Amino acid sequence: MLPAADLSSTRPVAASALLRGTATVADPRQDGAVRLDQIALGKALLAQVVSIQSDGSALVRLSSSEQAADFQTELRMQLPTGSKAGDTLNLTLLSKTPQLTFSVSTALPPDTTPTTLSPTARMIDTLLQEAHPSTQVQGAKPLLLASDAASGEMASKLAQQLRQALDGSGVFYEAHLRQWANGERSLEQVRSEPQNQGASNAPSTSQNLSSAQWLPVQLDTLEQQRFAWDGEVWPGQKMQWEVVQQDNAQHSNQVAAPSVDTWQTVLQLDLPRLGLIKASIRLQGDHAQLQVQAQAPDAATQLKAQGQVLSDALAASGTALDALTVHCYEQP
């Protein structure tokens, strides 16, 4: 009769490298251990936890394959905390003497294929982790001059500058390169994008960023169908602007045809006389719905009084205002 093997403790294995964290386990006093003499070191074994014993050890059924046709035995061993009957583990035989030593990790389900990343995906993941976390385009200069803010043409100039801020933000740089290749965009337009500007020659629509720093903004825009801009409308007047494409299927009370794209744009400003204002505009074809929130009750009253003026102005531009709601911010 062979003496019982003392496998109650383990020692580190030299020159071993594991892809993910593992716990080292061993088996104290077991009759089937001798069968492992026929298994080569480094052999991967499939282990199923049969039961947890009263002393904390586990009865484990080992096999060299999922079918268990060529090798199978049962051992008692100490498993990581939290192991329970029915668990399936991957064991790797690290040493046989002076005691059996394994590395253990949770096994994937039989129908699960391990996920691997391509070199390009790994590069993008690295760049995203190193990049600036902001997903907003930061305006480097005011969109308008101070004199423009007081002129009668402010609305048309602001609309033009907002369009340029979006188009020339750098978020759509790769799409613009394709347009240039197809002859739909000039080389001068491509060169004016932030990616082609030096740090001292950044355009007025967005700050200069490295290629890695553009990734969070571009990927967020692609995934969320959302463009966010933060900057000055004119000197000293900050504004946050967001444009989102909405799914038409989410809206059952549509005025325009379902095939027409639906967009929502949100503006937030802290104006000198009206205070904090947040306007949300939903556009679908040539129809608009507007919701305005004002922090000050007096500001809300003034905005309501100008509702017809706004409706007439939109109608003159070819857009019908279907709904206008003005109310104050809810107090916490």
Cα(101)–Cα(6) distance, integer angstroms: 11
Cα dihedral 103→106→107→111 (10° resolution): -160
Give the per-residue pLDDT at 304.
92
Of the candidates 25, 29, 32, the one whose C-alpha atom is nearest the C-alpha of residue 9 is 25
pLDDT at 137: 82
58-63 and 23-25 strand pairing: unpaired
What gap in Å lies between CA 105 and CA 102, rounded to an integer? 10
Helix axes 307-316, 297-305, angle to 10 degrees: 50
* Residue segments in the chain with a per-residue pLDDT below the cut of 70: 1-39, 65-71, 98, 106-116, 123-135, 152, 198-213, 247-259, 330-332
| 161 and 124 housed in the same domain | yes
Give pLDDT, residue 322: 94
Among 106, 129, 147, residue at a domain's last position: 106
181: left (phi over 0), alpha (psi -120 to 50) or beta: alpha
Domain count, the chain: 3
Q: At what angle do helices 173-181 and 211-224 cross, to 10 degrees?
A: 90
Q: Is residue 233 part of a domain?
A: no
Q: Do 182 and 135 share a domain, yes or no?
A: yes
Last residue of a domain, one of 106, 140, 171: 106
CB atoms within 10 A of CB 332: 3
Domain co-membership, 187 together with 271: no
Residue after which a domain boundary falls, among 76, 106, 136: 106
Q: Which of 119, 162, 122, 135 is CA-nearest to residue 222?
A: 135
Helix (H, G, I), strand (E, B) or coil at 13: coil
- Cβ atoms of residues 8 and 78 within 8 Å: yes
Q: Is residue 263 part of a domain?
A: yes
Helix 211-224 to helix 119-130 angle (10° resolution) is 100
What is the structure's pLDDT at 141?
87
pTM over 0.75, yes/no: no
Write 58-62 long-range contacts (CB < 8 A, 24+): 58/83, 60/89, 62/36, 62/91
Residue 221: inside a domain, yes or no? Answer: no
Rounded to 5 degrees, φ, ψ at 269 are -135, 155
3-state secondary structure of 302: helix
Strand runs labelled E in 96-225: 101-106, 137-138
| Claim to verify: residue 132 and residue 83 sit in the same structural domain | no
Domain that holds residue 74: 23-106
Is 50 in contact with 84 (CB distance < 8 Å)? no
What is the reported pLDDT for 299? 92
Peptide linkage before 98 cis (omega within 30 of 0) = yes
The answer to the question of residue 228 being in a domain is no
CATH number at residue 34: 2.40.50
SS3 content of the chain, % helix, strand, coil (to 5): 25, 30, 45
Tell me, yes or no, whether 129 and 212 share the same domain: yes
Same domain for 128 and 91? no
Q: Is residue 186 part of a domain?
A: yes
Look at residue 235 and tell me if it is in a domain. no
CA 195 to chain CA centroid, Å, is 23
304 Cβ neighbours under 8 A, 6+ residues apart? 326
